[in-house]
Amino acid sequence: MKNFLKNNVSLESLTTIFSQAPVALGMLMGEDFTIEVANRQILELWGKGEDIIGLPLLEALPEIRDQEFPNILREVYQTGTPFNGSKVLGMIEKNGTLHKCYFNFIYAPIYGDTGITGISVVATDVTQQVEYEKKLRESELRFKELLEISDYATAIYRGEELVIEFANEQMIKTWGKDQSVIGKKLDEALPELQGQPFIDILKNIFITGIPYIAQEDRVDLFIDGILQTYYYSFSYKPLRDDDGEIYAIMNVAMDVTELVNSRKKAQNSESEYKHLAEAMPQIVWTTTADGKFDYYNKNLMNLLNCTEEEVREFNFEKIIHPEDIINLRKIWTEAAETQKTFTMEYRILDYRTDEYIWFLTRATPVIEDGVIMKWIGTSTNINEFKNLVNQKDTFLGIASHELKTPLTSLKLYAQVLERMLKKSGDDKNAEFAKKMDQQVIKLTSLIGDLLDVTKINAGKIHLNQNHFEFSQLVKETVEEQQMSTAHSIELNIEKGGTVFADRDRISQVITNLISNAIKYSPEAGKIIVETKSTDSEVTFMVKDFGIGMPEEKKDKVFEQYYRVSGDEESTFPGLGLGLYIASQIIDRSEGKIWVDSVLGKGSTFCFSLPSVQI
């Protein structure tokens, strides 16, 4: 045994040293590598007990016969050159099962008097470390794959020199570079960053360890050889190793250039809008969906004699005329529910004169995804216009009254003249006198309309309301109209239905609607009149087959002086007052009036009145 010891070290001493060593140690002697010494650590590493001591290695560990360890041992034994193995895979049988293990080990020759007599083994089981590193590599690979397919531009800069270790396709595209930048220092790959703050920010993170988050920061980059300005929201986050030391920085960025530029344009447009609004003579304002002001020009503050803060808390209802406030609430609610434009004329108290002045307010809803987001409106002082209208109505009222007397005389003279000419046998001139009488009737009707309008505008139209059977009135009126027209009037009446209204005025409405149906269907041979009756209301309908009207004009036909145009903008005779008067009469009779129409196919005018039980 002594011949394999060097420097007179005894086997007993070596055994003691090996057993007390903190690492796995063993001695393999002879060409068959007999296990001469094996401490507890190496026995555990091999998964064997002390009974293998004294056995040849391949007999003690037969599972390694076809692995690389025997060849390595023979090479060391023959050449005397030590072998240092790192993370070498070995299959070791433990408790009857083969286990995949990884080892760091050293095989070193043992010299005796005759040369190499054995091999010392120093080994460490690094299986857990290798598995951890493998999982770490797999995790890093998955992490980089995730970053690669991310919609966000992502890069990793390693070390304080900021070497680009990773950059996904989005980041490469953001920089306007190619894959050749990988492995380069950031300031070398993107020299245009010099003079910008980003390199210094990154280096400071290695010192402080504090992440950096930017919102819409400006970055100047060379794209296609041109230095261009972009805006990014991005973050710099330090990456730490197991010891907590920063080894790299991850950069995640999102291009917000389009968003920033759009907002700048919007801000410029808003600024221009506000300048324009301030220059307008009208009050210009916007409100939230529930009607709270969020913008208004100075004209509103001037009207109210309020500061900007006071306007937001101002109670507008206290300056609106009591007669207008209820209707204003109603129209505003209807506009909000139907998401239609709000339009109304109403009176506001002027603090300067302590008098009410007329304003016309229009507000259009801003709708997104079917929901009102805000209102944009204007309020125009129309007091002078209202005064002019009142003067006009006064003039028309006076003029109409003054014209009625000579027209009555003219009508009488025409009728007397017609009878005299007929009596003398001059039928030709008698016909002329008759036509003159008919024109006087038309003129009298126009004057009557003007008088009605002035009364309506002045709130002085009087309704002599009584109970009457609606269907009987319709029948009588249609019969009168049929006598003066070549059109066939088809009548479909549901009998019954008593109403409480002004019989003459309702007859005036029916006459007007039938006359219009005949006038606006000159090429048709007939019109259809229908009535329907329920327990709660009666409905009148007159359908023509004439020129019709487009959808956007349906609501305008009941306005003052509005006239429907035919083909090539040809117009029909009249002042455009009949439907306005009809709508006002029906409205004051607590009814409803409307029209359904298709351009080129005709119109159906309808009104309904509440029925009463007697």
CATH number of domain containing 244: 3.30.450.20
3-state SS record for 3-48: HHCCCCCCHHHHHHHHHHCCCEEEEEECCCCEEEEECHHHHHHHCC
Q: What is the dihedral of CA 70, 76, 79, 84, to 10 degrees?
A: 130
Q: Quick check: is 253 in a domain?
A: yes
Instruction: Return the pLDDT at 571.
Output: 52
The verdict on residue 138 lying in a domain is yes
Q: Which domain holds residue 239?
A: 132-260
Residues 371 and 400 in one domain: no
**According to the model, what pLDDT value does residue 80 have?**
93
Counting residues of the chain whose pLDDT is more than 70, the rounded percentage is 82
State the greatest distance between any 2 C-alpha atoms of the chain, in Å, as a whole number: 175
Over 90: is that where the pLDDT of 61 sits? yes
269 lies in a domain?
no
Instruction: Tell whether 42 and 174 lie within a shared domain.
Output: no
- Do 394 and 479 share a domain, yes or no? no
Mean pLDDT (whole number) for 168-175:
88
Span 146-175, average pLDDT: 85
Same domain, yes or no: 242 and 298: no
The answer to which of 63-77, 368-382, 415-429, 474-488 has the lowest mean pLDDT is 415-429
- Domain presence at residue 267: no
Rounded to whole angstroms, the Cα distance separating 136 from 377 reads: 63
Domain count, the chain: 5
Torsion over CA of 324, 326, 328 and 334, rounded to 10 degrees?
-150
Q: Has residue 611 got a pLDDT over 50? A: yes
71 falls within a domain? yes
Cβ contact 608:540 at 8 Å: yes
Question: Do residues 370 and 399 both lie within one domain?
Answer: no
Range from 133-137, 272-276, 348-352, 473-477 carrying the lowest mean pLDDT: 272-276
Pair 135, 143: CB distance under 8 Å? no
Q: Is 580 helix (H, G, I), strand (E, B) or coil?
A: helix
> Which of these three, 125, 143, 172, is where a domain ends?
125
| Tokens linked to 43 | 């026995």
Question: Which amino acid is located at 555 in the chain?
Answer: D
Distance, CA of 49 to CA of 104 (rounded, Å):
21
Among 415, 441, 457, the domain boundary falls at 457
Please give the pLDDT value at position 560: 67
Rounded (5°) CA angle 140-144-148:
170
The mean per-residue pLDDT over the stretch 491-506 comes to 88
Is the same domain home to 104 and 153?
Answer: no
pLDDT one-digit tens code per residue, 380-406: 988 887 777 666 656 555 655 555 567
251 closest CA partner among 219, 296, 293: 219
C-beta separation of 527 from 492 below 8 A? no
Is the per-residue pLDDT at 112 higher than 80? yes
Average pLDDT over residues 335-349: 90
Q: Is the pLDDT of residue 477 over 80?
A: yes
Q: Which pLDDT band, with edges at 50, 70 and 90, does 458 fall under?
A: low
Predicted local distance difference test score (pLDDT) of residue 609? 94
Tokens of 580: 């306005």
Rounded to an integer, the average pLDDT of 260-272 is 75
What integer best gives the mean pLDDT of the chain? 83
Least confident of 64-73, 160-169, 278-287, 375-384: 278-287
Report how far residue 227's alpha carbon sits from residue 319's, in angstroms, rounded to the nearest whole number: 60
Helix (H, G, I), strand (E, B) or coil at 613: coil
Is 575 found in the same domain as 501?
yes
CA 386 to chain centre: 42
Return d(Cα 145, Cα 204) in angstroms, integer.
28
- pLDDT of 6 strictly over 50: no
Is 266 contained in some domain? no
Checking if the pLDDT of 12 tops 80, the result is: no
Q: Cα 148 to the chain's mean position, in Å?
A: 30
Residue 443 falls inside a structural domain: yes
Residue 442 shares a structural domain with residue 509:
no
Among 45-54, 257-266, 331-340, 505-514, which is the least confidently predicted range? 257-266
584 and 471 assigned to the same domain: yes
Domain boundary, last residue among 457, 476, 496: 457
* 578-588 and 427-457 helices, crossing angle to 10°: 50
Answer whether residue 441 shows pLDDT above 80: no
- Contact between 590 and 612 under an 8 Å Cβ cutoff? The reply is no
Question: Is residue 268 a part of any domain in this protein?
Answer: no
- 137/329: higher pLDDT: 329
pLDDT score of 555: 73
Taking residue 473's Cβ as centre, other Cβ atoms within 10 Å add up to 19
Token code pair at residue 56: 């040849």
Pairing of strands 355-368, 371-381: antiparallel
Mention every residue, 6+ apart, whose C-beta is less than 8 A from residue 289. Answer: 371, 372, 373, 374, 375
**Whether residue 296 is found in the same domain as residue 246:** no
CA distances from 58 to 28, 29, 79, 595 (A): 11, 13, 21, 108
Question: Which of 447-456, 469-478, 569-578 has the lowest average pLDDT?
Answer: 569-578
In this predicted structure, what is the pLDDT of residue 4?
41
Sequence-ordered list of residues with C-beta below 8 angstroms from that of 450, at least 6 positions apart, any chain: 396, 397, 399, 400, 575, 577
Which residues in 503-612 belong to E strands, given as ranges? 526-533, 537-543, 592-598, 602-610
Q: For residues 82 and 111, state if they share a domain.
A: yes
Mean pLDDT of 7-36: 74
The beta strands (E) that lie in 73-225 are given as: 83-94, 97-112, 115-125, 153-158, 163-167, 212-223
Q: Please tell me the distance from the alpha carbon of residue 330 to that of residue 336, in angstroms, as a whole number.
A: 10
What are the respective helix, strand and coil percentages of the chain, to the nearest 5? 45, 30, 25
Q: How confident is the model at residue 89 (pLDDT cuts 50, 70, 90)?
A: very high
Is residue 445 located within the same domain as residue 483? no
* Structure tokens that stand for 29 in this block: 């002697």
Q: In this structure, what CATH number is given to the domain that contains residue 402?
A: 1.10.287
Task: Label residue 429 exposed, middle or buried (CB < 10 Å: 0-12, 13-18, 19+).
Answer: middle
User: Mean pLDDT across the stretch 268-290?
Assistant: 75
Higher pLDDT, 295 or 356: 356
